[in-house]
Amino acid sequence: MVIGGDAAGMSAASQARRLKGSDELEIVAFERGHFTSYSACGIPYWVGGDVGERDELIARTPEEHRARDIDLRMRTEVTEIDVAGGRVRARDIDSGAESWTSYDKLVIATGARPIRPDLPGADAPGVHGVQTLDDGQALIDSLTRTRGRRAVVVGAGYIGVEMAEALINRGYEVTVVNRGSEPMSTLDPDMGRLVHEAMEGMGITMVDNAQVTKVHTGEDGRVRAVATEDAEYPADVVVLGIGVRPETALAKAAGLPLGAHGGLLTDLSMRVRGHENIWAGGDCVEVLDLVSGQERHFALGTHANKHGQVIGSNVGGGYATFPGVVGTAVSKVCDLEIARTGLREKDARRVGLQYETVTIESTSRAGYYPKASLMTVKMLAERRTGRLLGVQIVGREGAAKRVDIAAVALTARMTVEQMTALDLGYAPPFSPVWDPVLVAARKAARAVVQGF
Amino acid sequence: MVIGGDAAGMSAASQARRLKGSDELEIVAFERGHFTSYSACGIPYWVGGDVGERDELIARTPEEHRARDIDLRMRTEVTEIDVAGGRVRARDIDSGAESWTSYDKLVIATGARPIRPDLPGADAPGVHGVQTLDDGQALIDSLTRTRGRRAVVVGAGYIGVEMAEALINRGYEVTVVNRGSEPMSTLDPDMGRLVHEAMEGMGITMVDNAQVTKVHTGEDGRVRAVATEDAEYPADVVVLGIGVRPETALAKAAGLPLGAHGGLLTDLSMRVRGHENIWAGGDCVEVLDLVSGQERHFALGTHANKHGQVIGSNVGGGYATFPGVVGTAVSKVCDLEIARTGLREKDARRVGLQYETVTIESTSRAGYYPKASLMTVKMLAERRTGRLLGVQIVGREGAAKRVDIAAVALTARMTVEQMTALDLGYAPPFSPVWDPVLVAARKAARAVVQGF
């Protein structure tokens, strides 16, 4: 039995079905929404016009799942998990009818919910989240109906900056209001500053250190402006992109173990700790950060798919584990690419790691090759041991996916000195003779090691 | 004392100088050509017009090296190494004057020489190599002078396919004549086939399984056609791109140890084996292939730079090692990207490794995102252990540098199952939710492991 019909839940169902046919394994899945297996990460590109149709974001429809003998119950919300009894109570949202269903093995994939600020006016027409396909459709409809061209984005994390791009692409004047000292708080502030400057350069008004206090509405009840303690920003449309929290109300009520970030705690096979027959994956769980050694919460489709795969293997009688993450994320705002993996300075300090940092500038291609673009790479290495702790990259074309080099190196617990010898692909159209990541590693090795 | 003023030699000199000032270390360097520290890998792009000026390919001029207190003797060829006496004999090429100079520490960085086929007519005007800047200039002059628009490229390795692109860009009708069964023999033939097809699609005539027997010249003595056993290909210009061999005649005459591929053998500090005071690096050495455990010869600027860095650290009183390579290389022909790392099937067989192979197709970005391009990824994993052995990628934009993920994984001796959990950067503009390398790893893991 699967609760939640998106990436983690349906990947688990599909993989279990791959390993065991319908004669061996019955699969029931509950989804409270209208859609299954869709790419929430694609919503900004749909809103911005890069993706034409909502349905392009749907990887697999309910019908496709049912064709593989998965008993998928749409618009059905699970309202209670009875762990001792091995059953869940579910409610048909349209009819209101409730019933109990028993399970032998349960997969919890309830995802995350967006943080909605407790603000006066936050529910006014014209104020939108972008968590679900329905949210995306509502925003697109709102943008189509509204004549005004002023948009305010609240929050400057991944969703915030991607929505800023989407709104720029639709011809809006965009203001991004952000509580932090710089946008992209998943970067160190010095790297976030580069994002701030680049976004200003795109004509986006960046307001940092600003707490939104109120959403003002007009006489028609529709949003009119966003107020902070210091100022007021006129807005014909407002997008909230403040982040998400694990959706674990059900799990909490059932007495399942939650971590410090509110996510379910699992073991390496993605089984809920202390529960033989319950698995959990996706945005509702905490994952082990392999660099810091502590659990963290990362809401990312790519993790959810992997969790589902692992759960499906184990539930289906195979064997797989999810060892953890290193905290990789990439994003872009128009032609600006942003990437990070591993620990920021404050993460390293928080877990007691001492470190050196270096920052270098290099190019995406050989300097003499056309369209070589500048990128800035910041690298953290542990003091004395030289172990790689984190990398952040801000640049243009070719910047973001270079972080994968560091992601693999972090997984392998390499030192920055070891990284200087990495045999990376080199040809003038693809890299300088020293890849930017190697330039950073070399400088970091010199910061840690004498005589290197 | 440094023999050879290109990447390895001058990187060694520069790094040694960085660690030790002129009061502590005297540095003499001999270079027989006109240039120092230039990018031979950039020559195809200069010939093709992507790079405007020869001098853009020069990273550091003789004057710049001299400004750092390196006694650089240009147009001076070392003709003998007297290992027992700790001295070298050098000849001023212009005056013919010879003299002996003593060294305390010697760095051999004599590079590679192109393989020139022993063919009638191979020295005719209009037949060109592309190893040095002088070669490149001679080819450009030849192309400028010649009215005909038919070019034949002999060889379909990196240099061959890159020169095919350059000549296409200059408006030539290009025929590539290749001894092997497919172009790019650094790939397995099934992947080489994709390159063949793509190049044919660009209007390049691909002739495989063809041994050039003769270069025909016209009445003016200039090249007229290239003959194979079966056919004759009219040619107004011919480019030879057959590959290179280590330039180790000097070293051999001095009794220094050479390997099976004709390159110098060094230890991990890049010191010539059995010689306390002689180092060697760049295209004249063999390097340890970390995957096969055997020495191989890879002529690549990126290795040469790393060798130089390591040698310079050690000669300058610091400490560094070069652990080896995994055999990564990337290239492109127009918009086709080609990448490989690790072992091909025949390499694995040769060293006694049993393996599984999988091949997958995926996209560079989320399938619904604009400009998502197809790529084919082939992966080799060791039978039973599942250790990654090699990856080959052929595709369009975004294909080549993905091989870096595999390069780092090979260095860390990861299994394909471990790779399936790699925390790679995901966002729709940069990758599908499963990166193509992960899709391949997952399929490879299923080929090796039961119940995954």
User: What is the Cβ-side half-sphere exposure of residue B377, based on CA atoms within 13 angstroms?
Assistant: 29
List the structure tokens of B378.
């082939």
The domain that holds A57 is classified in CATH as: 3.50.50.60
B-chain residue closest to A52, CA distance: B368
Domain membership of residue A64 (yes or no) is yes
Q: How confident is the model at residue B118 (pLDDT cuts 50, 70, 90)?
A: confident
A236, A223 contact by CB (below 8 A) = yes
Residue A331 pairs with which residues in a beta bridge?
A338
User: In terms of domains, do B102 and B250 share one?
Assistant: yes
Domain membership of residue B320 (yes or no) is no
List the structure tokens of A250.
């059900």
Query: What pLDDT is attached to residue A450?
Result: 81
User: In terms of domains, do B251 and B152 share one?
Assistant: no
Q: What is the ipTM of this complex?
A: 0.96
Residue A451 has pLDDT above 90, yes or no: no
Q: How confident is the model at residue A141 (pLDDT cuts 50, 70, 90)?
A: very high
User: In terms of domains, do A248 and A109 share one?
Assistant: yes
B394, B195 contact by CB (below 8 A) = yes
User: In terms of domains, do A105 and A249 share one?
Assistant: yes
Distance separating alpha carbons of residues A367 and B40, to the nearest angstrom: 14
B-chain residue closest to A162, CA distance: B427
Query: What pLDDT is attached to residue B27?
Result: 98
**SS3 of A78, please?**
strand
CA distance A439 to chain B (A): 11
Measured between beta carbons, the chain A residues lying within 8 angstroms of B57 are: 368
Mean pLDDT, residues A269-297 taken together: 98
Distance separating alpha carbons of residues B384 and A331, to the nearest angstrom: 38
Query: What pLDDT is attached to residue A251?
Result: 98
Quote helix, strand, coil % in chain A, to nearest 5: 30, 30, 45
Judge: A450–B326 Cβ closer than 8 Å, yes or no: no
User: In terms of domains, do B123 and B99 share one?
Assistant: no
Domain membership of residue B323 (yes or no) is no
Q: How big is the A-B interface in CB pairs under 8 Å?
A: 232
User: In terms of domains, do A179 and A258 share one?
Assistant: no
List the structure tokens of A343.
């620990």
Domain coverage including residue B171: 116-240
Q: What is the pLDDT of residues A170-202, one digit of tens each?
A: 999 999 999 999 999 999 999 999 999 999 999
Measured between beta carbons, the chain A residues lying within 8 angstroms of B341 are: 423, 425
Last residue of a domain, one of A212, A240, A268: A240
Measured between beta carbons, the chain B residues lying within 8 angstroms of A424 are: 302, 328, 404, 407-408
Query: What pLDDT is attached to residue B184?
Result: 98
User: In terms of domains, do A127 and A234 share one?
Assistant: yes
Query: What pLDDT is attached to residue B451?
Result: 78
DSSP A337-401: EEEEEE--HHHHHHTT--EEEEEEEEESS-TTSTT--EEEEEEEEETTT-BEEEEEEEESTTSGG
Query: What pLDDT is attached to residue B298?
Result: 95
Q: What is the pLDDT of residues B299-353, one digit of tens each?
A: 999 999 999 999 999 999 999 999 999 999 999 999 999 999 999 999 999 999 9
CA distance B303 to chain A (A): 8
List the structure tokens of A20.
């065991």
Judge: A426–B451 Cβ closer than 8 Å, yes or no: no
* Rg, Å, chain B Cα set: 23
DSSP H or E run through B403: helix B403-411
What is the total residue count of chain B?
452
Mean pLDDT, residues A394-414 taken together: 98
Query: What pLDDT is attached to residue B442?
Result: 97
The domain tally of chain A equals 3
Q: What is the dihedral of CA A115, A121, A126, A130, to 10 degrees?
A: 0
Domain membership of residue B272 (yes or no) is yes
Average pLDDT over all residues of chain A: 97
Percent of chain B with pLDDT over 70: 100
Last residue of a domain, one of A240, A258, A273: A240
Mean pLDDT, residues A129-154 taken together: 95
Domain membership of residue A131 (yes or no) is yes
Closest CA to A153 of A342, A333, A286: A333
The domain that holds A384 is classified in CATH as: 3.30.390.30
User: In terms of domains, do A121 and A227 share one?
Assistant: yes
Average pLDDT over all residues of chain B: 97
Q: What is the pLDDT of residues B181-237, one digit of tens each?
A: 999 999 999 999 999 999 999 999 999 999 999 999 999 999 999 999 999 999 999
Nearest-by-Cβ selection for A426 from B300, B317, B427: B300
Domain membership of residue B96 (yes or no) is yes
Q: How confident is the model at residue A117 (pLDDT cuts 50, 70, 90)?
A: confident
Distance separating alpha carbons of residues A83 and A256, to the nearest angstrom: 9
B355: exposed, middle or buried (Cβ count in 10 Å: 0-12, 13-18, 19+): buried
Q: How many CB atoms lie within 10 A of CB A451?
A: 12
CA distance A427 to chain B (A): 6
Last residue of a domain, one of B261, B281, B315: B315
